Amino acid sequence: MPGIVVIGTQWGDEGKGRIVDYLASRADMVVRYQGGNNAGHTVEVNDIRFKLHLIPSGILHPGKICVIGNGMVIDPIALVEEIRYLEGYGIDVKSRLKISDRAHLIMPYHKLLDEVIEEHKGELQLGTTRRGIGPAYVDKAERIGIRVCDLLEPKYFEEKVEQNLKMKNEIIQKVYGKKGFEKGPIIESYLKAAEQIKDMVCDTTSIIYEFSKNDKKILYEGAQGTLLDVDLGTYPYVTSSHPIAGGVCIGAGIGPTLIDSVVGVVKAYTTRVGKGPFPTELLDKTGDIIREKGYEYGTTTGRPRRCGWLDVVMLRYAVKVNGLSYVAITKLDTLGGLEKVKICIGYKYKGKTITDFPASLNVLSECEPIYEELPGWEEGISDIKRIEELPENLIKYIYKIEELTGVKVAFISIGPKREQGFEIVKLF
């Protein structure tokens, strides 16, 4: 029952879509287990750059079953738009996509609340995508959420919307001074979307279980990254779900015995979107070069990402909390042309050296990185076809990451295209 989890080891944007796309060619099923359309994967196929937000990256491989798991929050209107977007490229979606009937819905009032709450925080804004993700998860925890199965029962769905609007409109109008919602337009637009997706809705936990028991290859696709986990990330600058490997069991509805290995995707440097401390951030020309060469702009928001050197203190933390079996390194081509590259191997904090990633953001904000410097490698490596032809200094960089983390590198990427990478350990 081969089950492989692919997760991000940093603050997201590590290039997970690239790795998932590669492994999906051998998988029978690809499962997304958390988050919503606040996240995104960019995958380049035949010079077309696909931007996916809800549908697993495996959809780009013909014949693969793709699952939107119960741990996700779904904007059904955005989902319909994404299905049409893919169908516009001739991709068969509807016969292969399975949507959990237990997944929660993002409602219009969630998106408005996301926006007004962020604005109300002023300088304390978290930098959310304002897609309604957090408020949808709040309702889920408060047990007033509306699920996909509710959407398929029009009368019950209408009752739940009406109940929730009584509460939400009170908050929207009296606390934030905004205009509330009428139930009619919500009911109409959401039931229209339901017609488009109803044939794809099912008990996905049963399908995943049967695939596992029949020795089918299943790939679990995470969104965002370890440091954005609501429990184990750089709280409060986190998402509202569990991007870590442990989130798979809850978000896909499976037991831990169905997972065989966990692959952590590591960008060859570190990036972050939004606020919060970032010890290795480069506020200089080198940071600008990395941003432009790596096209470090958000898939979902288009926001420029903050860039810095690889942080192994963070990476070792990700190894521990995810139980990583292997790592996959992406964006090695972006660092090409730099005379020197640096790796953060520890922090200086109030005169002491620390090697464990701190929980307190106050502590993290005062940490100074301790660097190990390595020689850089030349540009133009993206066209290399044989791993033996890679620059010696790049190979040394990879070995150094293995040495510092204690985890074997299974895959390296030297460009966004499917052929621009090398598999070192066969995973499927």
Q: How far apart are CA 117 and CA 130, in angstroms?
A: 10
CA angle 76-80-84, nearest 5°? 170
Band of pLDDT at residue 302, cut at 50, 70 and 90: confident
The pLDDT of residue 1 is: 59
The pLDDT of residue 119 is: 76
Place of tokens 């679990």: 220
The pair of structure tokens assigned to 333 is 């081509």
The pLDDT of residue 6 is: 97
Q: How far apart are CA 104 and CA 72, in angstroms?
A: 7
Chain centroid offset of residue 130 CA: 16
Place of tokens 């013909």: 62
Please give the C-alpha separations between residue 412 and each of 4, 289, 394, 409, in angstroms, as whole numbers.
17, 21, 11, 8
Q: How far apart are CA 7 and CA 223, in angstroms?
A: 7
Chain mean pLDDT for the chain:
94
Parallel/antiparallel/unpaired status of strands 421-423 and 408-413 = antiparallel
Q: How far apart are CA 94 and CA 200, in angstroms?
A: 7
| pLDDT above 70 (res 4) | yes
The pLDDT of residue 127 is: 66
Per-residue DSSP letter, 414 = S
Q: Residue 174 class from Cβ within 10 Å (0-12 exposed, 13-18 middle, 19+ buried)? A: exposed
**Is 41 designated active site?**
yes
Report if pTM > 0.75: yes
Torsion angle of C-alpha atoms 208, 213, 219, 224, degrees rounded to 10: 50
Q: What is the mean pLDDT of residues 205-224?
A: 95
Band of pLDDT at residue 274, cut at 50, 70 and 90: confident
Parallel/antiparallel/unpaired status of strands 41-45 and 352-354 = unpaired
The pair of structure tokens assigned to 331 is 């964006």
Q: What is the pLDDT of residues 360-378, one digit of tens each?
A: 999 999 999 999 999 999 9
Helices (H) and strands (E) in the chain, counts: 13, 20
- The catalytic residue among 13, 21, 75, 229 is 13
Q: What is the pLDDT of residues 167-189, one digit of tens each?
A: 999 999 999 999 999 999 999 99
Please list, in sequence order, all residues whose beta carbon lies within 8 angstroms of the beta carbon of residue 155, skipping any fewer than 6 positions away: none
Contact 339, 364 (CB under 8 A): no
- The catalytic residue among 21, 28, 41, 75 is 41
Domains and CATH numbers, the chain: 3-100+201-261 (3.40.440.10), 104-196 (1.10.300.10), 266-423 (3.90.170.10)
Place of tokens 């049409």: 84
Q: How far apart are CA 54 and CA 67, in angstroms?
A: 10
CA atoms within 13 A on the CB side of 213: 8
Q: How far apart are CA 425 and CA 428, in angstroms?
A: 9
The pLDDT of residue 417 is: 87
**Is 383 designated active site?**
no
